[in-house]
Structure 1
């Protein structure tokens, strides 16, 4: 019961963090934020991912304005596009633009054709993301900070550098969260030996993982 209350509290506060841009948070001895578990990406790859997100987001917003609402998420140089586009041409052009970016390893274009989502819908998605993130923090043997979690219209997209077992746990945990409609995964799957190496060295730039297909 106590853990359930803590999870709900963390989810609510993490939602505020998503919406306000706040950073690290500590509640009841549990730390939420970038310091929970080590990121398996190298600092250089983390910087590249952040650069991809900023560059693509700014360029697409400038190019399409109110004709699209595009979220850009990059993890290990794999870029996910979610949100809405006014028509199929905008969706296609946005995907092509990101694919042309120098550091984009692959692009997953999940834009939906239709009107831009409302603030309420986006707030609900942020809350759903926070619930999933919080549950993963409380799940043993799951490196929550080596994943990106994106909610869009109650569909969840997971990216990260995980072992096959970790990937299965992450998908199961997400699927069991109330309010989740579908779960799609774009993981880079690594071996247990590679996991150990990355945890010791704290970097993933030398990894050569295989990608798990969308499910």
Structure 2
């Protein structure tokens, strides 16, 4: 029984390495490729999101040290803070810092006031995230690569750019996953017409891999 968690975690990491790409994943003779779509964010916004995560993550880590364990997730410039803060003041300061960042258009502070989570708890969170993403990628017509999944204990947070129908499916898939108690969604809802436009744009970008400006 002592080796159960490491084995599960290894499997989760292996699955995630497949799911994060745009290739075809074959498991047990079943091929999953149709549901793996390109990220609906523009490359510029993806870069901005990564910058927000790195800047805020490093700054908050230096400011609070062991007084907090803060995960910063940015998707389409909407920023989610999860983890733990030792008191309400630290939680408030973390939120204020991110809100002051010029590229953050909205901030959702879901920090829990309490002691930092253990390594085992964080490993379980990673496993749950991968388990949900596995379910997402095997769900027909669900753009799993245009979503991000964050698990904290039995709570799951979903961010992404989806149609209303896709959003409802994604929330249902997450809610029905074993180990999940609550699901919170922070989606940007788009129309079917906008979905079509973004998918056409994504295909055009894929056909021009060298179209980025040269330095």
TM-score normalized by structure 2?
0.82
Report how many residues are paired. Answer: 191
**Which residue matches 1:129?**
129
1:23–1:174 CA distance, 2 compared to 1 (3 A): closer
Q: Unaligned 5+ residue runs, structure 2?
A: 1-6, 204-215
**Which residue matches 1:207?**
none
**Which residue matches 1:177?**
177
1:61–1:11 CA distance, 2 compared to 1 (3 A): closer
Q: Deviations over 1:23-63 (max 9, x none)?
A: 6585547579xx93200000000000000000000000000
Distance in 2 of aligned mates of 1:23 and 1:38: 10
**Which residue matches 1:63?**
63
**Which residue matches 1:13?**
11
Structure 1 residue 10, shift from structure 2 partner: 9.9
Q: Deviations over 1:66-116 (max 9, x none)?
A: 000000000000000000000000000000000000100100000000000
> What SS does structure 2 have at the residue aligned with 1:202?
helix
**Which residue matches 1:188?**
188
> Who wins on radius of gyration, i.e. which is larger?
2
Q: Unaligned 5+ residue runs, structure 1?
A: 1-8, 204-215
Distance in 2 of aligned mates of 1:30 and 1:53: 33
Distance in 2 of aligned mates of 1:149 and 1:138: 15
Q: Structure 1 segments of 4 or more deviating over 6 A? A: none
Distance in 2 of aligned mates of 1:68 and 1:185: 24
Distance in 2 of aligned mates of 1:161 and 1:198: 10
Q: Is the 8 A contact 1:41 1:202 kept in 2?
A: no
